Structure 1
Amino acid sequence: MAENDFNLLPLLDYIDPSTLSYQDWVNVGFALKHEGYTAMDWDTWSQADSRYKKGECFAKWDTFQGNNLGTVTGATITQLAKDGGWQPASKSQEARSLDWDDTIDRDYKVVDKDWIEGQEIHEPKNWNPVHEITRYLETLFEASENVGYVTESYPKTNDETGEVEKWLPTKGAYDRTAGQLIEELSKSNGDIGAVLGDAHEEAGAWIRFNPMDGKGAKNENVTDFRYSLVESDSMPVDKQYAIYKELDLPIAALVYSGNKSLHAIVKVDAGNYDEYRKRVDYLYKVCQKNGIIVDTQNRNPSRLSRMPGFVRNGHKQFLVDTNIGKANWEEWYQWIEDLNDDLPDPETLADEWDNMPDLAPELIKGVLRQGHKMLIAGPSKAGKSFALIELSIALAEGKEWLGWQCEQGKVLYVNLELDRPSALHRFKDVYEAMGLLPANIKNIDIWNLRGKTVPMDKLAPKLIRRSLKKNYQAVIIDPIYKVLTGDENSADQMAHFTNQFDKVATELGCSVIYCHHHSKGAQGGKKSMDRASGSGVFARDPDALIDLVELELNEDLIKVRADKAANKIYQRALQERNLAYYQQYVSLDDLESNAQMRQHFEKAIGDVVVRRLYTDEIKRVVHAINISTGWRVEGTLREFAKFQPVNMWFSYPVHEVDTTGVLSDIELEDSRPNWQKATKVARESRKSKKQNAKDRQESLNNAFDATSSFHPDEPVTKKELAEYIGVKERTIENYVNESENFVLKNGKILKID
């Protein structure tokens, strides 16, 4: 296959210009010019190199001539791309349709050139050059638009024989509008040379089919990327005509070149150069799939085409037809796509009734099947990214996640937010906090894209291309706001956005898991599926929606949890250091009392150093509890029955399912008016004020007794109490000031008997 049979531009993604030598960089430019691409293509790619100099590519481009272009071809680019990790598409990929950035890999065949009957064209019986040119101009241009054209040319001769091989156009003119030309032609009495200039009859004349700015004749002078040129001289003209019509190309003007080809001026209606380039690539590929071997050097929007109304080597250049085929690009593109869709045919249910297909295996038991989509929604500070990392680890190791068993498999974590070192350290921190050994760490791949993100519709094909042979069970994308395209409140735009997740899931056969933020305001009064910000598409699209809502914690609840955690450490200490005492003196009721367990601990373990080991652990645990937040996990599932809400704590850097039950009775914040909620808060505040003061004094007393036991002959410091309770030293001062049993002197706390 020749290099120009497919689009070379996506291959440039695999070639880093900053790693190339000067000669290799120049060779890429040679190759692009040889294969019919533009200097702008070379310039755009080169900008990724710190050595890039503005205008250098365009200056060098014009020097790429002669034998140099014969020694460097598109094969140079494919080899450099292979060195960078690119692999040609396999046969198993031929049925995939990805994106503009990928080569068209569907059939896209509409006609069979071997069976189609040619349609003859005929020269005009009444030759009227003024009419030919005027009709062309009126069809393609507005009256106020500048037109570029060339009537002057020069011969290119064979160096050995001196014979003229072909006639080449000069730069030409571009200083008059279509309206001016039409008016002057109408007054010319048929003398088109007086208006446009006389052309060599051996050469004919040329015209630029897109409007120009009147300042030049290059791509940058094009003012509207409206048309593209399709030309081929590899088959009879009557066959070309028949295929153009059978393809229903949206042709604005079809011109006989006076030689071997028809010039089809096709409506592409692009909004900018980038879109023009993509549409032309698509147009050329469809033409090639249907037997038209397109001259790819005609890609440029400023390209010259044959101008009707002139004679070329004894043959007239004339308009064959105007405005044939589909009305515009969008109509034609949709028609081609509809003819070549890869949708399955309808099937009769009766045929499958007794032989139902197997359901996809459960990736997360009772929550998500492999190949399905899951959304995690929650407010900021919910630790959504940590939850996704925890899920990645649980899948890689085949462990539980929030109480749900995960099927072991490979995971791709697409990191869009953190820099690479932070992302890697975070995974290690979470592994350690979960208490897991990285036995299957090879099951986790991380794609770090911070600073290199593209919209999801561009990211999806790149992700698929890199993942086809990886056999991922799940792809986790974090966070989606980095790749979000369009207005998140627009159902149409968000449907297009979430369709990219379907594409990834379908092409890779894996689950796609992503997170999104809550809308503003109270969420407790809403259903879980209504809390995610933006369009309702976010609620309806995923097969599983896992929603996180923060629980409103109070000091009593935090103290209960801290006491329970401390009691467990006291119990373990007694079992490890004085089991006989534990079995003889510790009752079941004692296990529920923080004061009793502390007394047992101090009485049974006399070694101050040993006691300090356990009390330091208690301090760390209590501190983690004091800074933790409580969360309720609810869900909306498509494939499974609704699960009971899961209550959990988030203490950096991991979530932990609440096994104490202290979170289960907390009601979610509702959506009542603020004045009603304020009244409730004030009432509860008055009710608990005395109790809170009592709790603070008890906490101070317990901390003092525990700390003084470490050094009974030395005073207790404010800093020690703050560390033990897990508060600031200023808070200890407040506790002491409202106490009748303690005084503060020079940073030391004294107890009054």
Structure 2
Amino acid sequence: MEQRYDLLELIKYINPADLEYQEWVNVGMALKESGYTANDWDSWSKADSRYHHGECFRKWQSFHGSSSPVTAGTIVQMARENGWEPKRNDYELDWDGTIGSKEDMVVIQQGWVEGKEIKEPKNWNPVKELTTYLETLFDSTENVGYVTQTWEKEGKFLPTKGCWDRTSGKLIQELNKCNGDICKVIGDYNDKAGAWIRFNPLDGKGVKNDNVSDYRYALVESDVVELEKQNAIIRELELPIACLVYSGGKSLHAIVKIEATDYTEYRKRVEYLYAVCKKNGLTVDTQNKNPSRLSRMPGVIRNGKKQFLIDVNIGKESWEEWKEWIDGINDDLPDPESLSEQWDNMPELAPPLIDNVLRQGHKMLIAGPSKAGKSFALIEMCIAIAEGKKWLDWKCAKGKVMYVNLELDRASCLHRFKDVYQALGYEPQNLSNIDIWNLRGKSIPMDKLAPKLIRRAAKKNYIAIIIDPIYKVITGDENSADQMAKFCNQFDKVCNELGCAVIYCHHHSKGGQGTKKSMDRASGSGVFARDPDALLDLIELETNDDLILNKTNNVMCDVIVQYLNEKVDNWEDFISQDDMCSSAQMKAKAERLLTPAQWKELTEKLTVRVSQVEHMSAWRVEGTLREFNKFQPVNLWFDYPRHVVDKTGVLKDINPDDVNPKQTWKKNFNKNKKTPEERKKERIQSLDQAFESLATFNEDNTVDITSLADSMGVTEKTIRNRLKEHGGFWIDEGKVGKK
């Protein structure tokens, strides 16, 4: 009869306020899987200040189970980590225990297993049998334990401790000289009992578990399943077998590659191995679990039958490969579905977040060079979504948005939002739709940030999350396709968990961009451009004196019109449409309509605005879209602190190929060359920033040196050198802290 813990007692040890969102969800899943109620989960969750009435019950309905469900073991482990210890009458998993659910780790459908014949060797060569076994399992310098002497108890022949002081190389050398008589090497054995051998190397001092020098193999043996079926199951399970031996009795002995670093890991791996075998119809003798266990020696006779090698090195090549294969078979991925079943009942597409550009729940990347105002463009987008307005040239859905600020200090970020609101001329009617998460100096790699982000955003009903910029959270080599694919998968995780769009920005690669396609301009691996559902790319357009003069004229006309609207009634009766296209005509007419004080005020406004025009830059937005047709390039002026779509068409004919850098590389090189003291100061500052960023999330205010190295993109050796150079840190067994 299966035992279990009282999970309601265990969750008393777990504070919901300390959990990440996914951990909180896992508790709920485990409770439901174990037969508890949504009310149990809800009552426990009330201890968290983030608790929302009804949230547990709504979430509970979405737990439909899976092939790999979250089980009670999750709560048990979390309770252990928070100080709970099982009492004597509590249940702990032992060697015969079952892990996972009935569906986990199942590879073989029992009703379809066909036995596989075991063929006895035609040419019996005992020396070759034993030599091959030794060469397969041991290095020549390793001690081998084996037993040929027995004693009898109740009609059974039992092995003695045997020998353990001879190396594999020595045994093979003597076998090659024995003229086929292996008894000259290993000693005489009782042919009614056979002989045994230990499959793990020993230290030459004994045959106990403590004498095992390498936890390399484990024994899988079953004597309750017929031999041919054992053979079939072992092979279908793709067990990483070094040697498969017929015992001369009712079982096969599979010497399985475990490759554990110590006894603790060995035990865990054997437990997993035996559980997989049991769930696939191969009931294993758990008394064989010990690493010093004896197995049947090939090359001898047992009660008239040969003990022989059936195969060597079959199945998966290693333990890691095999376990990854087993885990992969029982994943939580959806099954393929037939198009014919969906043809007349197609699912609804996600509604647009940005019309004709991006759907809700999808991903978008904005790429561009420095000084393109990418952050301002993202803030404009936040405001457009919050207020349900247009962003650049596209209408946005209205809803809540989170802006993850990784670059600006808090005050600058908040002021920037207000400045952009005012520049756009929008009334701030929906400020509650915008949340800002300020993480400057506290950013961490995206794989660690994603779960923390999900936790904070889980119950906020955001329709978009904007991350600015991503270079602050990139994990791995920016130019590595596989590492950047894993990095981009974190955005998928956020989209899937929260059901919202994720929008982020990245910088261009070095060099001219005009001749490149929009997909090829972003820095680093091409994965950046190919992963998102929408890519918007900003490229600068080179302006000339005529363009600036034209823009100045239009801006001055706009300023005068706006001022007349505020100060003069029915001014349109005195100014023609043609006049409105000429700043000179507008100034002349306005001077007549205004008082001297008003004219002075307008002149001051014009002076300021003309000065601002001189600092405007021109940009073109191109797009690569997965869900919508490609749009015509959108031309913009970056009129600090906002982008304005060029409606006049004056930017349309500019070829970005003509863009020339304003300084040569030599000038930039000489300008940016740093002294050794400046470089040392930068190293110290970057080390301080990286440490503070990681230590923020650890209660003991320490950082693992490996994490610190990964965060800074350098080796551990380099980190150690920089810690020494800094002088303000201590390091102890891989942990780094401040003095």
TM-score, structure 1 as length reference = 0.53
- 1:15-26 alignment, distance < 5 Å: none
Between the aligned partners of 1:432 and 1:299, the Cα distance in structure 2 is 70
For 1:122-164, what per-residue CA distance to the aligned partner results, in whole angstroms no more than 9, with x for missing partners? 9999999987764444224565xx6477799xxxxxxxxxxxx
1:627 paired to 2:624: no
Task: Report if the CA contact (8 A) 1:113-1:243 is conserved.
Answer: no
Q: Paired residue for 1:545?
A: 535
Cα gap change, 1:347 to 1:587, in 2 (>3 Å) = same
1:138 paired to 2:169: no
1:645 to 633, 649, 662: 633
2:389 to 393, 396, 399: 399
1:209 CA drift (Å): 7.1
1:631 CA drift (Å): 1.0
1:365 CA drift (Å): 0.8
Cα gap change, 1:262 to 1:377, in 2 (>3 Å) = farther
1:656 CA drift (Å): 1.7
- 1:61-72 alignment, distance < 5 Å: none
Task: Report if the CA contact (8 A) 2:108-2:237 is conserved.
Answer: yes
* Amino acid across the alignment from 2:638: F
1:78 CA drift (Å): 0.6
For 1:471-517, what per-residue CA distance to the aligned partner results, in whole angstroms no more than 9, with x for missing partners? 55345455455436567475x77667656655665565443434444
1:369 CA drift (Å): 2.0
1:668 CA drift (Å): 2.4
Q: In angstroms, what is the RMSD of aligned CA positions?
A: 6.6
1:667 CA drift (Å): 0.5
Between the aligned partners of 2:253 and 2:633, the Cα distance in structure 1 is 67
Secondary structure of the corresponding residue to residue 244 of structure 1? helix
Between the aligned partners of 1:304 and 1:236, the Cα distance in structure 2 is 24
- 1:158-307 alignment, distance < 5 Å: 179=169, 182-183=172-173, 208=200, 229=218, 243-254=233-244, 265-267=255-257, 290=280, 306=294
Between the aligned partners of 1:523 and 1:372, the Cα distance in structure 2 is 27
Cα gap change, 1:356 to 1:426, in 2 (>3 Å) = same
Between the aligned partners of 2:375 and 2:288, the Cα distance in structure 1 is 49
* Amino acid across the alignment from 2:657: D
Q: Paired residue for 1:658?
A: 645
Task: Report if the CA contact (8 A) 2:540-2:659 is conserved.
Answer: no
For 1:308-345, what per-residue CA distance to the aligned partner results, in whole angstroms no more than 9, with x for missing partners? 649xxx99999775333345665885587468684543
1:375 to 349, 365, 368: 365
For 1:342-400, what per-residue CA distance to the aligned partner results, in whole angstroms no more than 9, with x for missing partners? 45435355x65554443321121111223433332322332334433433443344332
Q: Paired residue for 1:667?
A: 654
* Amino acid across the alignment from 2:568: L
Between the aligned partners of 2:456 and 2:249, the Cα distance in structure 1 is 46
* Percentage of pairs with the same residue: 44
Q: Paired residue for 1:687?
A: none
1:111 paired to 2:98: no
Q: Paired residue for 1:721?
A: none
Between the aligned partners of 1:571 and 1:205, the Cα distance in structure 2 is 99
TM-score, structure 2 as length reference = 0.54
Task: Report if the CA contact (8 A) 2:218-2:289 is conserved.
Answer: yes
Between the aligned partners of 2:249 and 2:239, the Cα distance in structure 1 is 22
Between the aligned partners of 1:346 and 1:624, the Cα distance in structure 2 is 58
Secondary structure of the corresponding residue to residue 622 of structure 2? strand
For 1:603-655, what per-residue CA distance to the aligned partner results, in whole angstroms no more than 9, with x for missing partners? 834449x956x666656545544434221112233333332322223355x44
Task: Report if the CA contact (8 A) 1:108-1:340 is conserved.
Answer: no
Q: Paired residue for 1:579?
A: 568
Q: Paired residue for 1:347?
A: 338
Task: Report if the CA contact (8 A) 2:104-2:330 is conserved.
Answer: no
Between the aligned partners of 2:272 and 2:607, the Cα distance in structure 1 is 66
Between the aligned partners of 2:564 and 2:580, the Cα distance in structure 1 is 13
Task: Report if the CA contact (8 A) 1:413-1:445 is conserved.
Answer: yes
Task: Report if the CA contact (8 A) 1:148-1:207 is conserved.
Answer: no
Between the aligned partners of 1:512 and 1:592, the Cα distance in structure 2 is 44
For 1:216-251, what per-residue CA distance to the aligned partner results, in whole angstroms no more than 9, with x for missing partners? x99xx98xx9x6647699987978776433322232
1:434 to 399, 414, 421: 421
- 1:454-473 alignment, distance < 5 Å: 454=445, 472-473=462-463
Between the aligned partners of 2:332 and 2:370, the Cα distance in structure 1 is 41
Task: Report if the CA contact (8 A) 2:556-2:583 is conserved.
Answer: no
1:604 paired to 2:594: yes
* Amino acid across the alignment from 1:647: N
Cα gap change, 1:269 to 1:242, in 2 (>3 Å) = same
Between the aligned partners of 2:172 and 2:463, the Cα distance in structure 1 is 65
* Amino acid across the alignment from 2:622: E
Cα gap change, 1:650 to 1:572, in 2 (>3 Å) = closer
Cα gap change, 1:468 to 1:385, in 2 (>3 Å) = same
1:523 CA drift (Å): 3.1
1:528 paired to 2:515: no
* Amino acid across the alignment from 2:79: Q
Task: Report if the CA contact (8 A) 1:634-1:644 is conserved.
Answer: yes
Cα gap change, 1:364 to 1:186, in 2 (>3 Å) = same
* Amino acid across the alignment from 2:421: M
Task: Report if the CA contact (8 A) 2:389-2:396 is conserved.
Answer: yes
* Amino acid across the alignment from 2:632: Q
Cα gap change, 1:229 to 1:650, in 2 (>3 Å) = farther
* Amino acid across the alignment from 2:629: A
1:110 CA drift (Å): 1.7
Q: Paired residue for 2:78?
A: 78
1:401 CA drift (Å): 1.7
Between the aligned partners of 1:117 and 1:255, the Cα distance in structure 2 is 20
Task: Report if the CA contact (8 A) 1:474-1:510 is conserved.
Answer: yes
Unpaired segments ≥5 residues, structure 2 = 6-13, 20-72, 84-99, 148-158, 188-192, 204-208, 665-739
Between the aligned partners of 1:262 and 1:207, the Cα distance in structure 2 is 14
Aligned residues, how many? 551
Q: Paired residue for 1:94?
A: none
Q: Paired residue for 1:161?
A: none
Between the aligned partners of 1:625 and 1:281, the Cα distance in structure 2 is 73
Between the aligned partners of 1:344 and 1:74, the Cα distance in structure 2 is 26
Between the aligned partners of 2:82 and 2:511, the Cα distance in structure 1 is 52
1:551 CA drift (Å): 1.2
* Amino acid across the alignment from 1:669: P
Cα gap change, 1:122 to 1:667, in 2 (>3 Å) = closer
Cα gap change, 1:644 to 1:123, in 2 (>3 Å) = closer
* Amino acid across the alignment from 1:551: L
* Amino acid across the alignment from 1:373: K
Q: Paired residue for 2:698?
A: none
Cα gap change, 1:465 to 1:433, in 2 (>3 Å) = closer
Cα gap change, 1:354 to 1:581, in 2 (>3 Å) = closer
- 1:477-516 alignment, distance < 5 Å: 477-481=467-471, 482-483=473-474, 488=479, 505=495, 509-516=499-506
Task: Report if the CA contact (8 A) 2:240-2:315 is conserved.
Answer: yes
